[in-house]
Structure 1
Amino acid sequence: MISKQMLNIESHIKIAEDTFEVVLPLPDEIELKPGQFVHIALKGHMLRRPVSVADVDKEANTFTIIFKIFGEGTLALSKYRAGESLDVILPCGSFYPIENINVNHALIVGGGIGVPPLYYLGKQLKEKGVKVTSVLGFQSGSQVFYEDKFRALGDTFVATNDGSYGHKGFVTDIIKDLNKPIDYYFSCGPTPMLQAVTKQLEKEKGYISLEERMGCGVGTCYACVIPLRENPKQSKKICKDGPVFYANEVILS
């Protein structure tokens, strides 16, 4: 059940260029699943900001979010410090349905700030005994984060657009050379990347998670609708029906 909470920041650190990791306490009655997000209110800003859940520590009763500075809202969030409180709505959105599918080998494909929710997903998959291969894409080496954490889950490959770290190019360049059979792929990132990945892996089963600006974040304002592939006249709400969808369920544009 969605709940509005005032949560005190336990940790707030910079982990890459313009990229920050924030650890918050997880209320006892709340369960967060891979792919879900939280909706954060910021002083002086009308709209909340959606931020994906990057990890959950059940022993410490905390969860982690990662965000990048894109505008005034995320710039304001970057200036918060440990000990300050945040107004948070959680849990929001759909999640990767890994409880309902049979997976032996999963391919994780993340781009930029679409990488964080895939780490929590990868942890959950590994705990279930699933082999995990990760392909992560960033603009440059200065923006790379969580590489070591993903390597702890399985084979990990990094691509940067400018070639300053890892493979020069895009995640699709790495995928075409993997030659590894997979059962499902799970991807999150900017729309152009998702378009390329879903086209490249059109014969594979998979799930995607969309990055989107949102209004209410709970499905009432219709600010983040997306048309369905089977019937473009019908649509779903990214904040409520998503952000996770079955690959090719929606029209990416």
Structure 2
Amino acid sequence: MIKQERMKVVAQQSIARHIFELTVEGGLVDEMAEPGQFVHVRVADSFEPLLRRPISVASIDKENNRFTMIYRAEGRGTQILADKKAGDEIDVLGPLGHGFPVEQAEKKAFLIGGGIGVPPLYELAKQLNSRGIETVHILGFESKQAIFYEEQFKALGDTHIATVDGSHGTEGFVTHILNELPHDFDTYFSCGPTAMLEAVQWAYPQKKGFLSYEQRMGCGIGACFACVCRTTKSETDYIKVCSDGPVFPAGVVIS
């Protein structure tokens, strides 16, 4: 069930260059279940900025009615959000969309993320681990200064890092790491830039995969049609990333 709630900010900190970790508390957490869902946050109590910001859910703590978001502060809205302090309140709508189907993994899963597409994979890894699924994490960042949650992922499974400039881990992209790893897994889950998702699908055409797409959104609930994408079903068939996704089986979305 989707809820709208003014949630209390519990903590916020910078965890990498332009990257913030924000934890909030409230009853809306009761509705969260699927890793890969997102929330729509109103960053100010005024009408400027007008639109909410879609932010993925990085971690769910139902015991304490809290969840954690990780986002990049690069525009005016997210920069306003980055100024929030413990004790402040923010208006949150969610949980939204369809997340990763954890039940599709059998024994071993690859989790492949790029940049700000990495956060939802953390909750996914936790839930897969709780089901006895071995997870391997392949994460890509621009540079060492942009890396976050490396140790948290390592605590959940084998973790590989790629940086574009080679300042940490493997130089290049996640695909450079994928080329070196054995294909001994049954399912992959990926979130990140469209070009990365396309490369991952190309690398594993015979594997079962699920991709989370990043798309500009207006309403977040499927009403404004700002995030439509074509599908492989027909030339006139479209899906809405916010309400039909953001997670789709590999091979469904035409980039």
Give the structure-1-normalised TM-score. Answer: 0.97
Residue equivalent to 1:91: 95
How far did residue 36 of structure 1 move? Answer: 0.1
State whether structure 2 residue 179 is matched by structure 1 residue 176: yes
How far did residue 98 of structure 1 move? Answer: 1.4
Question: Aligned equivalents of 1:132 and 1:232: distance in 2?
Answer: 36
**Where in structure 1 do 4 or more consecutive aligned residues deviate above 4 Å?**
none
How far did residue 213 of structure 1 move? Answer: 1.1
Given candidates 27, 37, 53, the residue that maps to 1:49 is: 53
Q: What stretches of structure 2 of length at least 5 have no aligned partner?
A: none
SS in 2 for 1:240: helix
Q: How does 1:135-146 map to 2 (within 5 A)?
A: 135-146=138-149
Question: Aligned equivalents of 2:186 and 2:30: distance in 1?
Answer: 33
Given candidates 238, 243, 247, the residue that maps to 1:244 is: 247
How far did residue 129 of structure 1 move? Answer: 0.3
How far did residue 57 of structure 1 move? Answer: 1.3
- Residue identity matched to 1:167: T
Q: What stretches of structure 1 of length at least 5 have no aligned partner?
A: none
How far did residue 29 of structure 1 move? Answer: 4.0
SS in 1 for 2:99: coil
Question: Aligned equivalents of 1:8 and 1:176: distance in 2?
Answer: 44
Question: Aligned equivalents of 2:137 and 2:21: distance in 1?
Answer: 20
SS in 2 for 1:74: helix
Q: How does 1:158-177 map to 2 (within 5 A)?
A: 158-177=161-180
Kept in 1: contact 2:30–2:62 (CA 8 A) = no
Q: How does 1:30-109 map to 2 (within 5 A)?
A: 30-43=31-44, 44-99=48-103, 101-109=104-112
- Residue identity matched to 1:2: I
SS in 1 for 2:242: coil
Question: Aligned equivalents of 1:25 and 1:221: distance in 2?
Answer: 29
- Residue identity matched to 1:106: A
How far did residue 103 of structure 1 move? Answer: 1.5
Residue equivalent to 1:226: 229
Q: How does 1:11-22 map to 2 (within 5 A)?
A: 11-22=11-22
Deviates more, 1:138-147 or 1:40-49: 40-49
State whether structure 2 residue 216 is matched by structure 1 residue 213: yes
Cα deviation digits, residues 13-36 of structure 1 (max 9, x gap): 100000000011141642242000
CA RMSD of aligned residues (A): 1.1
Residue equivalent to 2:130: 127
- Residue identity matched to 1:215: G
- Residue identity matched to 1:78: A
Give the structure-2-normalised TM-score. Answer: 0.96
Question: Aligned equivalents of 1:124 and 1:102: distance in 2?
Answer: 11
Deviates more, 1:200-209 or 1:116-125: 200-209
> What is the aligned length?
251
Question: Aligned equivalents of 1:176 and 1:146: distance in 2?
Answer: 23
Residue equivalent to 1:193: 196
Question: Aligned equivalents of 2:49 and 2:192: distance in 1?
Answer: 25
Instruction: Give the share of equivalent positions with the same residue, in percent.
Output: 46
Residue equivalent to 2:151: 148
Question: Aligned equivalents of 1:202 and 1:234: distance in 2?
Answer: 23
- Residue identity matched to 2:20: F
